[in-house]
């Protein structure tokens, strides 16, 4: 048995539905997921994150305080995970913390992206060396900073025997077309809205966090004209590399598109939003000419049966299934991705994001925040 190499992956995604925290062992040829924990985000903190994302009445004090408060919640998540796994800080090589995106602005000469959840706080409150700030490093070498998960999808889900894609349906949906042989590149891009619009609408109309299994959407019918208006969004026609977030797809965006469609019932709007997610994914590339045979789905949207049913109908020649069938629960794929990235940084290994984010060269992602008594990377 090789000596275990335990890394923790930590993140809160666009949906802000909780902090995902996973423990994985990277000593084998394939990482193995050993323990998981989901840490709730207190309501006030979530509201503050949403205020920062919306970029309204922004105060630097709110930004700084939310950064540290979230760092503490991330630390609780790690400490709770360690209790569950019956491990101590000294067992862990490092934490890979994605943080919480509050602004993703990949266009223009001073493109930037900002993830908060202070890694200094995390390394101090857990006693574990913390690696964070993965996206800004990619941007510093000319990349979009997102999506980064396709690199892990390639490493974990690639199979020589089949042309496979991985679809992550989080708040935003991102697609990875795995590199199959030396002839093609790994392709990965943010497709557009995953759950974020459906979540916003059901939250506004029914005060629920999300539409369980897409049942409310299934009770309505997509409205063709509204759907066309939503699909008119220029982002969908952009070539990749491309990445997006809440700054584009949010409740304000939806409400602007709804002007003139006041007669459409709330359930029909939800059905239209689900159809938008399904159609925009199905139409994002020519799946057939790229020879894709199957799509492994991960992220919370993989639990939306109505959505997966629609996707299977729209792509009849492709097998659409949960990543659980490939041995990794859809809820923990992103957490695994950031533990994996931390393991690479720890070893001083560069990650080649060129074909996904448009980065100019492979680079070692992230910054390292050493804990005094924690493990030190062998750099």
Ligand X SMILES: Nc1ncnc2c1ncn2[C@@H]1O[C@H](COP(=O)(O)OP(=O)(O)O)[C@@H](O)[C@H]1O
Q: Which of 7, 17, 157, 272 binds Mg ion (CB under 5 A)?
A: 17
Residue 344's binding partner out of Mg ion, ligand X, none, with CB under 5 to 8 Å set by partner kind: none
Q: Which residues contact 322 (CB under 8 A, 6 or more apart)?
A: 296, 297, 298, 302, 330
- The binding site for ligand X (CB under 6 A) comprises 13-15, 17, 170-171, 195, 199, 210-214, 299-301, 303-304, 334
Helices then strands, counting H and E runs in the chain, come out as: 13, 12
**Should residue 15 be labelled a site residue for Mg ion when binding is judged by CB under 5 A?**
yes
Phi, psi angles (nearest 5°) of residue 324: -55, -30
The size of the chain, in residues, is 379
Q: Kindly state the smallest distance separating residue 7's Cβ from ligand X, in Å.
A: 19
Per partner kind, with CB cut-offs from 5 to 8 A, the member of Mg ion, ligand X, none near residue 213 is ligand X
Q: Which of 13, 245, 330, 366 contacts Mg ion by CB under 5 A? A: 13
Helix axes 333-346, 149-157, angle to 10 degrees: 90
Which residue, 144 or 270, is less far from ligand X as judged by CB? 270
Helix (H, G, I), strand (E, B) or coil at 277: helix
Least distance between ligand X and beta carbon 214 (Å): 6
Q: Which residues of 358-368 are buried (b: 16+ CB within 10 A; e: fewer)?
A: bbeeebbbbeb
Q: How far apart are CA 23 and CA 326, in angstroms?
A: 18
Choose the one of Mg ion, ligand X, none that binds residue 48, judging by a C-beta under 5 to 8 angstroms depending on kind: none
Contact partner, 30, from Mg ion, ligand X, none, Cβ < 5-8 Å per class: none
In the bound state with ligand X, the residue whose beta carbon lies nearer, of 195 and 243, is 195
Task: Pick between residue 15 and residue 343 the one whose CB is nearest to ligand X.
Answer: 15
The verdict on 138 binding Mg ion (CB under 5 A) reads: no
129 binds Mg ion (CB under 5 A): no
- Angle of helix 266-282 versus helix 305-314 axis, rounded to 10: 50
Q: Of the listed pieces 12-20, 82-90, 95-103, 350-358, which binds Mg ion according to CB under 5 A?
A: 12-20
* Spatial CA neighbour of 230 closest among 269, 204, 201: 269
Give the residues lining the site for Mg ion (CB under 5 A): 13, 15, 17
């Amino acid at each position: 048995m090789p000596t275990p190499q335990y890394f923790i992956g930590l993140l809160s995604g666009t949906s802000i539905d909780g902090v995902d925290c996973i423990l994985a062992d990277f000593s084998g040829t394939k990482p193995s997921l050993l323990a998981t924990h989901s840490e709730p985000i207190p309501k006030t903190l979530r509201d503050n994150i949403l205020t920062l994302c919306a970029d309204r009445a922004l105060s630097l004090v709110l930004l700084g305080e939310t950064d540290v408060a979230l760092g503490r919640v991330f630390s609780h998540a790690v400490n709770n995970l360690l209790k569950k796994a019956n491990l101590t800080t000294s067992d862990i090589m490092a934490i890979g913390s994605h943080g919480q995106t509050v602004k993703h602005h990949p266009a223009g000469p001073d493109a930037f992206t900002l993830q908060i959840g202070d890694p200094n706080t995390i390394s101090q409150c857990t006693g574990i060396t913390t690696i964070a700030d993965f996206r800004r490093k990619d941007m510093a070498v000319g990349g979009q900073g997102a999506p980064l998960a396709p690199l892990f999808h390639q490493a974990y889900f690639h199979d020589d025997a089949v042309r496979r894609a991985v679809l992550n349906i989080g708040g935003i949906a991102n697609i990875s077309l795995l590199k199959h042989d030396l002839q093609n590149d790994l392709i990965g891009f943010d497709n557009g809205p995953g759950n974020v619009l459906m979540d916003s609408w059901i939250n506004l109309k029914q005060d629920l966090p999300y539409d369980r299994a897409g049942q409310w959407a299934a009770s309505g019918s997509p409205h063709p004209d509204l759907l066309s208006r939503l699909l008119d969004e220029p982002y969908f026609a952009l070539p990749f590399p491309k990445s997006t977030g809440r700054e584009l797809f949010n409740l304000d965006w939806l409400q602007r598109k709804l002007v003139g469609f006041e007669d459409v019932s709330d359930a029909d709007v939800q059905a239209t939003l689900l159809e938008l997610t399904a159609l925009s994914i199905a139409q994002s590339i020519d799946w057939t000419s790229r020879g894709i045979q199957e799509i492994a789905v991960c992220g919370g949207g993989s639990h939306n049966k109505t959505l997966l049913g629609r996707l299977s109908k729209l792509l009849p020649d492709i097998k659409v299934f949960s990543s659980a069938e490939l041995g990794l629960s859809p809820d923990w794929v992103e957490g695994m991705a950031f533990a994996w990235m931390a393991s690479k940084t720890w070893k001083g290994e560069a990650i080649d994001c060129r074909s996904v984010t448009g980065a100019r060269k492979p680079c070692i992602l992230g910054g390292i925040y050493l804990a005094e008594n924690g493990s030190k990377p062998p750099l």
